[in-house]
Structure 1
């Protein structure tokens, strides 16, 4: 007799099949996409403005370089001379325009970056989302910094292409140590732009309202620029040219190369000390007075254009310390505002 063994089948699962678990929160792309959607108008305006300025400066730089090459080759026409003269006249205005870039970035991008969310109350939702407050802050600052660096680098390189050949040709008409020439054509332009951004972001986190944050940023960036202007030349690697042997008449002043700026000139005494150029100016016999003071010649302090790059990188390194300090204040303000 045979026995039939029936194997019981497992019961069919009841209900709907389980769905795969959704991805946790917003990934990096999703976070950056949200930041882009929220601030794209300001980012696009900055990008379009920087692109237009860069294109214009590159066009002007090409014209200037062609004119200077013709001048050096002895084939310059009146049109070439007019182009060079016009470029020298326009340098200050172009540099002044770009010197406002950190201010504009701070007021119109940095200040509203967090203040808008804090003022509207949407910043409170950050804590209940699956992404952290830190990633939200980093994403906002990171994207804003990306557009800031791109704008500063593109416009700075384009302006340098116009400024440098003019400074090499006749530096006294292209002061590359001024805010218009120094802070807009090198690494300092990038650091100053980022500093403006962080000042604005910090003001927004502390004020928690957009308009007050913009006003605070305006005065904060202006104060930083004014302070920086007073210490900028401390980073200059200047060169001292002297005369001796009793040659201290105005005609005996050392010749300053065309590609260098004269920073200061003074009288040189036998012991190596310097006297101001106005020494003995009120004396009846100025030469006898200077002789009695031990004057033996002139001392002229110059700053060659070839030293500019080194000065800019040294100054940028010093500004990075200020940038790091500001970033620390920004982090503290963010933790305080979003707790």
Structure 2
């Protein structure tokens, strides 16, 4: 009989502990830690959104007015550095939330309970295996979605408040900013939760399950960043050899355009007139201009929604695999 074996001779108690109450009681420290983390990050993002962005914008205006003209350079450098640091820390923390959820789900929510027999005890006394898994996925999913969605919304508001006012503000297509400004971060967090469930049921050990869940989120995030530019039709802009590349946004492809309209690789010579000899290089390639295929800022939401839907499908398939694995193993254990 395996470690997931049920005790069929043990009757279920007449007074069943409600699944949600049992879950909150068992993982109360994690709940408090999550609420505290969301509160701290929310306060930091609100500070960035209002007072710190305004102060940094004033400091940058001072820099442009007083330092660019060669006169005495007096501006509030500390505020600019503070804005940059707080932005970096909060963005990194929000980027890491899905990994934190995956680590907790794999190690504590599922792996440790299966390793120590807490889950098996719940199955014999209060909860069926399916209800146990459904409760342990649904309740954290609500809390994770609500908390992460709040932080993503605040991050988007904060970034928008500084866009065009802070000279060193991150562009919308910066990888970390792109995801923390939209719902893909929420989808990554739900993937971490589902991945933790599957890893815990598959390995039934705390540290291996945590490692597998973290690896799953990392793979999903990397692959999403790679396929995201191809989830929506991009814009192609052609410019002359003298002007160089044109257009600004999330890059997809770039190179040279020939007289026949074909796209070829750029030898890296640069615009004509900047580096001597480029005219001959381009003439030998029959190049007539540069092309740049990219996504402008207006594509932010189509890309975000398409990527979010894709990641949510992965999360759903992962959760389904966890239910199927649990059903197979508990059925085998009962038959044994």
TM superposition score normalised by structure 2: 0.77
- Equivalents in 2 of 1:88, 1:94: separation in Å? 10
Which fold has the larger relative contact order, with Cα–Cα distance below 8 Å and residues 6 or more apart in sequence? 2
- Mapped to 2, the partners of 1:81 and 1:272 lie a distance apart of 49
Instruction: Return closer, same or farther for 1:90/1:114 CA change in 2, 3 Å cut-off.
Output: closer
- 1:181 and 2:195 correspond: no
In the other structure, the counterpart of 1:275 is: 264
What is aligned with 1:317?
309
The residue correspondences of 1:139-150 to structure 2 (distance < 5 A) are 139-150=135-146
Secondary structure (helix, strand or coil) at the match of 1:301 reads strand
How many Å apart are 1:207 and its aligned residue? 1.6
Matched, 1:155 2:151: yes
Contact 1:171–1:261 (8 Å) recurs in 2: no
Mapped partners of 1:272, 1:93: distance in 2:
46
Residue 213 of structure 1 corresponds to: 209
Give 3-state SS (helix, strand or coil) of 2:256's partner.
strand
- Structure 1 gaps of 5+ residues are 1-22
Report which of the two structures shows the higher radius of gyration computed on alpha carbons. 1
CA contact (8 A) 1:203 1:217 kept: yes
The residue number in structure 1 matching 2:327 is 335
* 1:168–1:305 Cα contact (<8 Å) kept: no
How much has 1:67 moved relative to structure 2? 5.2
Report the Cα distance in structure 1 between the residues aligned to 2:64 and 2:268, rounded to whole angstroms.
Answer: 44
Alignment of 1:212-291 (within 5 A): 212-235=208-231, 237-243=233-239, 247-249=240-242, 252-253=243-244, 255-256=246-247, 260=249, 265-278=254-267, 285-291=277-283
Conservation of the 8 A alpha-carbon contact between 1:175 and 1:261: no
Q: Which stretch shows the higher mean deviation, 41-50 or 64-73?
A: 64-73
C-alpha displacement at 1:224, in angstroms?
Answer: 2.8
Segment drifting more, 233-242 vs 307-316: 233-242
CA RMSD of aligned residues (A): 3.4
Hey, what's the Cα distance between the residues in 2 that align with 1:157 and 1:146? 16
On the 8 A contact 2:56/2:79 being kept in 1, the answer is no
Q: How many equivalent residue pairs?
A: 307
Instruction: Report what 2:20 is aligned to.
Output: 32
Q: Distance in 2 between matches of 1:65 and 1:139?
A: 41
Aligned counterpart, 2:49? 61
Once the two structures are superposed, the pairs formed by residues 193-208 of structure 1 within 5 Å of their partners are: 193-208=189-204
Deviation at 1:79, TM superposition (A): 5.8
Which piece of structure 1 moves more, 81-90 or 123-132?
81-90
Gaps of 5+ in 2: 1-12, 66-73, 332-336
